[in-house]
Amino acid sequence: MSRTTFFEVEILDAKTKEQLCFLDKVEPHSTIGEIKSLFHKLYPHWYPARQALTLHPRGKSLRDDEVLQSLPVGTTATMFFKDLGPQLGWTMVFLAEYLGPLLTYLLFYFRVPYIYSQGFAFTSSPHPVVTLACACHTCHYIKRLVETIFVHRFSHGTMPLRTIVWNCAYYWGFSAWLAYYINHPLYTPPSYGDQQINYALAVFVMCELGNFSIHLTLNRLKNGARNRTFPGPTKNPFTWLYFFVSCPNYTYEVGTWVGFSVMTQCVPVALFALLGFIQMTIWAKGKHKAYSREFKDYPSLRMAIIPLIL
């Protein structure tokens, strides 16, 4: 009969190297998540989502699903603890980020007092494109809220509270900035009139539908597949962009804001689209690299975010 070899886990403060706890007789098949739970019992204010455990003071955080006996440690393992600060679940993160821009834009559209001069309080713009832009902006963020509640599937991952504050400032601030100019009493419609507006609206709507289709596809992939696999095109034509890029949801998202920029001919919108493209390119390249590394049969034709280019 085989005898189980238990582990001893010493957890030190990553900054001071002070011993915080010593866990005796830890099962070899215990995960990092389970070790965090044991640590949490000793320090209740450091809940698992707030903890980062590493094998080196400046090392990479260990994943919750990593098993103790598979780590490069002996039967006495030394780990270093970092406090990630207060955390908030991803669902609440996205609700906070998206509800703000939705309401902020409407304040400017309805021209509540003290935004523009008193003579324009609660008045409406004579330009139909202003109302159209408000409808598009509102639908975009309602779609995001609906996806957050009913479509997206989040793990137990969280985000630091300080990061949420910065993200909300970014989304809310840009929403107020672009809404200020689009709903301004001196706003002028696009140079090429209805033709420019209609073409841009078509791009906006197509990209919104495409983005929603990709999110549904990712949702079904996570719910239906037992074995992990990479996403691919389905019978839905909007998913055929998967033939060419790894993250078509980002491609469609960028296209949405490009269409909105052209429709409104507003510089703050164009800047928001550019910054969004830069950030989403970073995310897409990281996801593309992860897919290529994990799956040997990953399609070589695919790029990260722009077909055949990037």
Q: What is the pLDDT of residues 23-61, one digit of tens each?
A: 888 888 899 989 999 999 999 888 888 888 999 988 888
Looking at the domain assignment, is residue 64 inside a domain?
no
What is the total count of domains within the chain?
Answer: 1
Beta-strand relationship, 76-83 and 7-13: parallel
Looking at the domain assignment, is residue 265 inside a domain?
yes
pLDDT at 225 over 60: no
Token readout for 149 is: 């509640």
pLDDT at 3 over 70: no
Angle at 7 between CA 45 and CA 35, to 5 degrees: 25
Looking at the domain assignment, is residue 142 inside a domain?
yes
When pLDDT is averaged across residues 137-160 and rounded to a whole number, the result is 81
Angle at 242 between CA 241 and CA 246, to 5 degrees: 120
* 3-state secondary structure at position 181: helix
Token readout for 134 is: 């408000």
State the Cα–Cα distance between residues 112 and 161, nearest whole angstrom.
Answer: 31
Angle at 18 between CA 12 and CA 23, to 5 degrees: 45
The amino acid present at 26, given as its one-letter code, is: V
pLDDT at 159 over 60: yes
Q: Report the greatest alpha carbon distance in the chain.
A: 89
pLDDT at 140 over 90: yes
Token readout for 76 is: 């006495």
Looking at the domain assignment, is residue 117 inside a domain?
yes
pLDDT of 155 reads: 55
**272 close to 257: Cβ distance less than 8 angstroms:** yes
Q: Note the helical H segments in 31-127.
A: 32-42, 90-109
Looking at the domain assignment, is residue 285 inside a domain?
yes
State the Cα–Cα distance between residues 119 and 185, nearest whole angstrom.
Answer: 10
pLDDT at 255 over 80: yes
Looking at the domain assignment, is residue 75 inside a domain?
no
Domain boundaries, position 265: 88-294
pLDDT of 164 reads: 82
pLDDT digits (tens, 9 = 90+) for 82-116: 988 877 676 777 788 889 999 999 999 999 999 99
Token readout for 148 is: 């957050």
The amino acid present at 247, given as its one-letter code, is: C
* 3-state secondary structure at position 44: coil
pLDDT of 1 reads: 46
Looking at the domain assignment, is residue 29 inside a domain?
no
When pLDDT is averaged across residues 163-177 and rounded to a whole number, the result is 91
Q: How would residue 174 be classed by pLDDT, with cut points 50, 70 and 90?
A: very high
State the Cα–Cα distance between residues 61 and 55, nearest whole angstrom.
Answer: 8
pTM of the model: 0.77
